[in-house]
Amino acid sequence: MILYIIVGFIAQVIDGTLGMAYGVSSTTFLLSMGIPPVTASASVHTAEIFASGVSGLAHLKFGNVDRNLLRKLLIPGVMGGVVGVFVLTSVPGETIKPFVALYLLIMGLVILLKAFKRIQEKEVKTRLFPLGIGGGFFDAIGGGGWGPIVTATLIARGHNPRLSIGSVNLAEFFVTVAEVATFLAIIGLAHREIIVGLIIGGILAAPLAAYVCKRLPSRMLMIIVGALIVLLSIRTIYSAL
């Protein structure tokens, strides 16, 4: 249980600070223990309901949320997540992961390039519906991916890194609730000790992560986010090959 708490804490610090990688970090750990992808994804998302809820509220409190962006991501994110759960229960998630990783690798490189140029922030007005659909879908398929896909794309397009991270974190709560409800209806839940450990660790880390996100400069956030995406993507592609 202590090990699961530590994993949940570290994963939420990364996710709450950078807007991504809670599911990726936690799911990678569970898969390494031999837990099936469907069970791992269901367990991680169940724990993530609590962690993302606390994290989203903390980001809201610290002023890291763009309400307009949040509204535009919510509905398509939920739709994509539900569809992704249905696909995951019938198609191996490992088949799709390399393609997601390639996309994320490109996004990570774009963010790193932008980080070393003059930051020109702009409001993202278009293509948010397909972005939400894709983010929710791949999040369910891979046990994580909402943050890397949605946050990476928003920042790569020039949206404010802090507001992108906070808004995506809060939207993640609603997407996760929809995914878990679908998992419950199809397969139920197992490995409750894992879920409880991840929940405790995530809740303990969420306020700290939101505070760190508020304090870090935008350029530094972009560099960290870009490097993290590139490293995780390369690892996923290498494992697939």
User: Which residues constitute the domain of residue 190?
Assistant: 2-240
What is the pLDDT at residue 158? 79
- Per the CB < 8 A criterion, the answer to whether 40 and 31 are in contact is yes
DSSP 160: -
pLDDT digits (tens, 9 = 90+) for 65-104: 888 888 899 999 999 999 988 887 777 666 766 776 676 6
Q: Give the total number of structural domains in the chain.
A: 1
Q: Indicate whether 120 pLDDT > 70.
A: no
Q: How far is CA 151 from CA 40, 47, 62, 80, in A?
A: 23, 21, 18, 16
Tell which residue, 50, 48, 27, has the closest CA to residue 37: 27
Structure-model confidence comparison of residues 160 and 99, the more confident one: 160
Band of residue 146 on the pLDDT scale cut at 50, 70, 90 = confident
- The top-scoring range by mean pLDDT among 33-47, 61-75, 151-165 is 61-75
Read off φ and ψ for residue 65, nearest 5 degrees. -115, 130
pLDDT score recorded for residue 78: 94
Give buried/exposed letters for 153-173 (b at 16+ CB in 10 A, else e).
Answer: bbbbbebbbbbbbbbbbbbbb
- For residue 197, give both structure tokens: 């450990």
* Range ranked top by mean pLDDT from 2-6, 36-40, 95-99, 100-104: 2-6
pLDDT confidence tier of residue 206, bands split at 50, 70 and 90: confident
Q: What is the pLDDT of residue 139?
A: 81
| Cα distance between residue 53 and residue 141, in whole Å | 21
Query: Which amino acid is present at 69?
Result: L
What mean pLDDT, rounded, does the chain reach?
Answer: 78
Instruction: Print burial letters for 10-36: b (CB count within 10 Å at least 16), e (below 16).
Output: bbbbbbbbbbbbbbbbbbbbbbeeebe
Residue 75 has a pLDDT of 93
Cα 62-66-71 angle, rounded to 5 deg: 130
Nearest 5 degrees, angle CA 36-CA 85-CA 163?
105
Is the pTM here over 0.75, yes or no?
Answer: no
Rounded-to-integer distance, Cα 181 and Cα 165, Å: 25
CB atoms within 10 A of CB 121: 13
In this predicted structure, the answer to whether residue 48 has a pLDDT above a threshold of 90 is: no
Between the two ends of the chain, the Cα-to-Cα distance in Å is: 33
pLDDT class of 1 with cuts at 50, 70, 90:
confident
Coil, helix or strand for 142? Answer: helix
